Amino acid sequence: MTRATVGAQQGWNDQLPPAKAYKARPGLSRDKRSAEQDKAAGGRYRRAVPLGNGSHARGSIQLRRYRSTRRIRAYLRWSDNGETKEKYVCEVSEATRKANLALAWTEAREAGKVVDEPLPPNSKASSISVRAVMTANKGKDTKPELMLRAALHHRGLRYRVGIRPLPELRRTADVVFPKAKVAVFVDGCFWHGCPDHYRPAKKSGEKWSQKIKDNRDRDASTTLALKDQGWAVLRFWEHEDLELAAEKVRTVVEDRRSGT
């Protein structure tokens, strides 16, 4: 008997489990439902269901309330060649849907029903978790960048995206206010060596440490070059409160526009 089942048997007794213990919020988009599952599982890469032929499907947990037994049961669901399949995982009795999803994912993992996605053969990452971080922080139009831009737009600010503040300098900024001469960067924790969240890769560690050092040196030289030309440079880590970041950007832009 699993600890989830034991907990469930000690659960609601003579009353039905409350809706908040199993129901998703009304109107939740598909992307947000997927993000909810990712968070409960500990990452998207941790939702892999082995199909028995070396391939994997991405699973999700469905919570169902049964009136007759006053229990909530968790089922693992996935698609295999277009056919939806599912397996019973356990009974859960936590007070919230979030906690019950997390518990069900833990039980599914311990039972071997889900595993971590395997690394691609040509991957340079030391683990699938490192690869997930690297992938999430590469490229432009990342989620933190989009969130900051939305917050700036909400404050009535208009800006340029992904351009060179100085044409002669081959460095682009994430958000640029050309007339106010304000350049904004949203730095990813992995690629830019965040002191709070960066964890060196175990595979080819020296190589990756040098890569991150080069990125940080490049960031510093970019900031210096822009400031030498009269630009205000604002850098934010992706984990920061981007509403507060947007407010700081607004203040700097308005101050420079007014000449204060």
pLDDT of residue 124: 53
Per-residue pLDDT tens digits for 43-79: 888 899 999 878 889 999 999 999 888 899 999 999 9
28 confidence band (pLDDT: 50, 70, 90): confident
Q: Determine the 3-state secondary structure of 14 from DSSP.
A: coil
Which alpha helices (DSSP H) does the chain contain, by range?
3-9, 30-41, 97-110, 128-136, 143-154, 205-228, 242-258
Contact assessment for residue 247 and residue 152, using Cβ atoms and an 8 Å cutoff = no
Per-residue pLDDT tens digits for 94-139: 999 999 999 999 999 999 999 988 755 555 555 555 555 555 555 5
Tell me how far apart the alpha carbons of residues 242 and 145 are, in angstroms, rounded to a whole number: 9
Tell me how far apart the alpha carbons of residues 89 and 136 are, in angstroms, rounded to a whole number: 30
pLDDT at 88 over 80: yes
- Provide the percentage of residues in the chain whose pLDDT is more than 70: 80
Q: Does domain 137-258 have CATH number 3.30.1490.20?
A: no
For residue 186, give the amino acid letter.
V
Domain-wise residue ranges, the chain: 3-110, 137-258
162-198 burial string, b = 16+ CB within 10 Å, else e?
Answer: eeebbeeeebebbbbbeebbbbbbbbbbbbbbbeeeb
How high is the mean pLDDT of the chain?
A: 84
pLDDT of residue 205: 56
pLDDT of residue 7: 46
Out of 38-42, 122-126, 175-179, 250-254, pick the least confident.
Answer: 122-126
pLDDT of residue 9: 47
Q: Which residue has the higher pLDDT, 199 or 159?
A: 159
Contact assessment for residue 119 and residue 56, using Cβ atoms and an 8 Å cutoff = no
End-to-end CA distance of the chain: 69
Tell me how far apart the alpha carbons of residues 221 and 121 are, in angstroms, rounded to a whole number: 36
